[in-house]
Homo-oligomer: A and B are copies of this chain.
């Protein structure tokens, strides 16, 4: 069991982690640091939170495992700011959805003070904030763990076991492989949904009353927070560009097949798409 476990910047993910650690008895004490004083007040009355000190240094001192739970663009700065206070060579992880730059910079920022291993639990929701947190959030979901070649192997093992204990299925990938995968399975679908919704808003402004459930499903994720997605674009730009370009080729192929009345090849694509989609529910 961990003696002292620390959550930095609890939103939906950080508070859910704290609750799950408490509920599963993975740590003797859960310490939490939040930037806003009101959030610290709220934390102090939660049964899963043993201390919510005013200073981020106090939250980290003596900790064995620290999770940085801020939005992806703020994690590197948090790693830099906690480094001077680390006195116990803790393992440090995070929940950022893009990993390459972040993993290298956090590793460097903590060098000699703490051992960084990146994580990305795929457990978001359209809901955000501590008030929607729940201990079961990670149960049954995938969590990527993304060590560098130079990462500490004991730290890697601890982080993997940690997510397993929270109920996640852990997948280990390099930060670069992770970013290519999520560009395809998460960022590309989101941008296509947004692009379709934005296209229809101009092509057919009164689509609302005409649309069926197909369009609603296909565009549902376009309701996500635009600022969060802008930040993901900024963080994962090269892989997102690659994924869009590869999809554009696929779409151009379909466009040509339809234009050339090559309906047999178009049918093959429809059947491949169906086979792939059907197994996602399997």
A→B interface (CB under 8 Å): 122, 124, 141-142, 169, 171, 181, 184-186, 188-201, 203-204, 207-212, 214-227, 229-230, 233-234, 237, 240-241, 244-248, 250-252, 254-255, 258-259, 261, 263, 266-267, 269-282
Contact = CB atoms under 8 A, between A and B. Distances in A.
Given A185-B204, A197-B274, 19 more contacts: A181-B210, A185-B210, A185-B211, A188-B196, A189-B215, A195-B250, A199-B247, A207-B276, A208-B279, A214-B220, A216-B281, A217-B221, A222-B273, A230-B266, A233-B263, A234-B263, A237-B258, A244-B251, A248-B255
B274 A195 contact: no
A14 B204 CA distance: 30
A255 B251 contact: no
Contacts of A197: 272-274, 276-277
A167 B255 CA distance: 37
Given A193-B218, A204-B181, A276 B198 contact: yes
Q: Specify which of A124, A189, A271 lies most central, judged by the most chain B CB atoms within 10 Å of its CB.
A: A189
